[in-house]
Structure 1
Amino acid sequence: MRLILTEDVANLGSLGDAVEVKAGYGRNYLIPQGKALLADNRASKELQHRLTHLEKLRQGKIALAQEQAAKIKELQLEVVRKAGQGGRLFGSVTIRDILQMLADQGYDFDRKAVTLHAPIRNVGSHELTIRVHTEVRVSLSIKVIGEIEPGAAEVAEETAEASEDTETGEENPETVEASAEESQETETGVETEASA
């Protein structure tokens, strides 16, 4: 089905473009929503008349989008997440998190407007792209700061010491005492159950 777009449609075309789409998409979505007209002589003449007016509106929208993009580019987005020793996050920073940070700054975007170049799973600076308008995109950097859990460093040190001890074949005296105490408690617990 051949249609003429009356407004910009993402992943399809811009205002005034003649596009070929599936019949159901055209009849059930584009035409009823006013996003397209059938590509015939009458529609073509009507569109040419409206096109000059719509082009002025489009230029105004692009100018506003460029102003908004300039303001967004100046934003410093930072997020603090729990991370392990190597800077790897427990979880990840998602598009939903980024949209929430932008909403807190007063910018409301659709989920599809934000594109991550790679999943954000590590501490550091990461790049993303925001589509402000079909013709205006802005690159933005988000800084992920790692928050190490208070007990994580101690646990990591203990694990490292335990692995060193097993590699060298030596036993840590504290570990030997603790295991001896546990075995005594277990034996006395068994004797108590047997006598009862």
Structure 2
Amino acid sequence: MTPRTRLIIALDVTDREEALAIAQKLGGAVDAIKVNYPLVLSCGLGIIKDIKKYASVIADFKVADIPNTNSLICREAFEAGADGIICQGFVGSDSVEACVDVANKFGRDVYVVTEMSHPGALDFMQAHAFELVDLALKSGASGIIAPATRPERLAEIRRRAENMKILAPGVGAQGGDARKAVEAGADFVIVGRSIYNVEDPYAAAVEFIEQLRQ
């Protein structure tokens, strides 16, 4: 995924019509739309193909299982049209490599979580974030997930991550700042409620894009 606006929309809704309306409004203004389990469980995997009419789709399934199960999940997501998938690294290198192997067959991307954006990530994940970066590099992943809510940590992860793409969630409702995240090394920022829950989502998206271009 090549940065254009650097903005990814987190589509954290469960209603099909609402999801498609948001995608239609914002698809042309963003680099990708991120969907997660609540939407897919509500609407079915077919929602990915419907959203792809408007933008690239990243399946935020945080895949975290044994290699065979990871392979099956990734195959289903890519066959449904996903351009990328997010997996967890804590399950080990063989499980991440299983995701990467399937992604390579489809010409798609895998992003490995190194440190999440919520406070609970400090309990266990933060202590192992650099190890997860190294695992993602060794496994051949396209990129990683690092927190916009902690730009100082994002900067440290950036130095470790070499040329891998960094997607930074937590901008907006969780308190992360889009510009600070990019300055710390993020290639893309992920924003959800702060855009699609306002009166004019398109204007809100444009405002974030302008911040990222300053």
Relative to the length of structure 1, the TM-score reads: 0.20
Relative to the length of structure 2, the TM-score reads: 0.19
Q: Return the structure number with greater relative CO, CA threshold 8 A, min gap 6.
A: 2
Larger radius of gyration: 1
